[in-house]
A and B are shown apart, each in its own frame.
Chain A
Amino acid sequence: MKHMSEEELIAFRDGERKGREAFAAHLQECPECRGEMERIEAVFAALDAMPVPDPGEDYGRRVWQQIAPRLSEKRARWWEVWFAPGRLVAIGAMAALVILAFWLGRVTRNPKPTGPDIVDAGKVRERVLVVAVGEHLGRSEMVLVELANTQPKQGQRLVNISAEQKRAEDLVEENRLYRQTALQEGDAAIANTLDELERVLLDVANSPDEVTPAQFAAIQKRIEAQGILFKVRVVRQGLDDRKDKSNAAPEENQAITKERNKV
């Protein structure tokens, strides 16, 4: 038997069953492979030597103290999670895209136009994206502007951002959907801005309901540092221009209205 590869040695050590007996027999006979195995074992021994600081016996109690004030809201039941208004928007948008994809599939399969409503499928899809993403960017901009413009009062100990945080959570879900669609459509500029926006929204969504003025200032600073508001406005402007350009095509607009009404 030839020598065992590094991958085979690591898999063997990891308990891989395939070919186990033959490998075990080979390891017994072959000092080179045994030596190699010892070197691999030494990697794990070195890893085991990496210390993890002891957070202390009362760590669990401290975690509880930190999270308990944030558990005051009622736990969401599964149906409440699924049918939350924000998620319904995302589900609606997803349903619209599924319907659109189905419809486009039918349109593109039939080479002969059958009526005045049949327009270039690609254009309609693009228009749906343009309109929906524009609206989404508008909603995101509002949340970020509200956060950026809020000034904690002097002496205020905690700033409640639970409303913005919940809106950001909902927007993250929508954002993912639009980003993926933009990527599929090959619209890299929109996809990139949505990618950056998602990180900022995630940052807000993952913040506590109430933050200290210092934490709040850090959130504002991160929004500012990314320059995301400016980028969002630029993309929105671009989308508005694209919308205006295609306004000259009434048949197309009619088809778009129909698609959007299906949501």
Chain B
Amino acid sequence: MSDASAVERTLAGERDVYRVLVERHSQNVYRLAYRMTGNSHDAEEIVQEAFLRGYRKLAQFAGNANFGTWVYRIAANYAIDRMRQRKSEDARREVPSRPTEDGLAVDPISQVRDPGPSPERLAGNLELAERIKQALEALTPAERTAIVMRHWDGCGIEEIALVLKSNSNATKNTVFRAVQKLRRALEEFGGPRGAAKTMGTEL
């Protein structure tokens, strides 16, 4: 069954046909949500919320658009709102940062949030993976959204601008700032080249 006919049948009242769309697009939305939030718990919540909102707003979905892209955008919108909300809550709580041995500030809340052994640990590249994770966490929600959508998902600048509620030029700048900040953060670690080498992905 194509996405278009699944949408049509759901709109006609066959609620359970929406399952086809959920099963087909969940993984993709999960990858976006994980890269934006950096932890599985939040990512899973974003996926659920995106599909719930998609269902409620299905009548507004233009049939000529791609359902996967549409629900992806709903997820990105929800994720950026959540990240902004959380950042401002964290700022308000003013939890003092605890410096680690290498002088890097670690947010104790983010440590509590995802306590289990991560795939990074299994890969044996904890330090670098943590550094990338922290570099991404240090970005603003808009910068993180922009780099995730642009780099991993190949979204167009216009599409990202829609999510950021910004214009093309400002969005290009946001992408640039994100790359620049990531580069600085990784260079402190011995340079992204060293980083890539450690991860076995050197060009």
Given contacts A45-B196, A49-B201, A71-B15, contact A78 B48 (CB under 8 A): no
Q: Which of B145-188 contact A (CB under 8 A)?
A: 147, 150-152, 172, 175-176, 179-180, 182-183, 186
B49 neighbours in A (Cβ, 8 Å):
206
- Cross-chain pairs A/B with CB under 8 angstroms, 19 sampled: A7-B176, A40-B179, A41-B203, A42-B192, A43-B179, A43-B183, A45-B199, A45-B201, A46-B192, A47-B151, A48-B201, A50-B132, A52-B34, A53-B34, A60-B22, A61-B23, A67-B52, A70-B52, A71-B55
Q: Which residue of A lies closest to B45 (CB)?
A: A206
Do A63 and B192 have beta carbons less than 8 Å apart?
no
Q: How many residues of A contact B (CB 8 A)?
A: 41
- Complex: chain B residue closest to A62, CB-CB: B26
Which of B26, B30, B55, B195 interacts with A46 by CB under 8 Å? B195
Residues of chain A from 77 to 136 with CB closer than 8 A to chain B in the complex: 77-78, 81
A168 to chain B, nearest CB (A): 14
For residue B9, CB closer than 8 A to chain A, the reply is no
Chain A: CB-nearest residue to B58: A75
Would you call B2 an interface residue if the criterion is a C-beta within 8 Å of the partner chain's C-beta atoms?
Answer: no
Q: Give min CB distance, B8 to chain A, whole Å.
A: 13
Closest A residue to B179 by CB, please name it.
Answer: A10
How many A-B pairs have beta carbons closer than 8 Å: the answer is: 137
- Chain B: minimal CB distance from A9 (Å): 10
Q: Fill in one digit per residue for B43-65: 1 if any A CB lies within 8 Å of its CB, else 0.
A: 01001110110011111100000
A45 touches B192 (CB 8 A): yes
The docked-state distance in angstroms from the alpha carbon of A236 to that of B48 is 37
Name the A residues within 8 Å of B89 (CB-CB): 199
Q: Given contact pairs A49-B125, A66-B48, A71-B18, enumerate 18 new A-B contacts (beta carbons under 8 Å).
A: A7-B176, A42-B193, A42-B196, A44-B151, A45-B199, A45-B203, A46-B199, A49-B199, A50-B35, A51-B123, A51-B129, A52-B31, A53-B40, A60-B27, A63-B26, A71-B15, A75-B55, A78-B60
Whether B98 sits at the interface, judged by CB under 8 Å, is no
A241 within 8 Å of B by Cβ?
no
The answer to whether the Cβ of A64 comes within 8 Å of any Cβ in the partner chain is: yes
Q: How far is the CB of B67 from chain A (nearest CB, A)?
A: 14
Mark interface residues in B116-140 (1 if CB within 8 Å of A CB, else 0): 0011100101001100110010000
Interface string of A200-215 (1 = CB under 8 A from B): 0010001000000000
- Find chain B residues with CB under 8 A from A71 CB: 15, 18, 52, 55
Please determine whether A60 and B179 come into contact, CB atoms closer than 8 angstroms.
no
Measured CA separation A106–B58 after assembly (Å): 43
Measured CA separation A52–B85 after assembly (Å): 24
What chain A residues lie within 8 Å of B132 (beta carbons)?
A: 46-47, 49-50
Cα A199 to Cα B89 with chains together (Å): 9
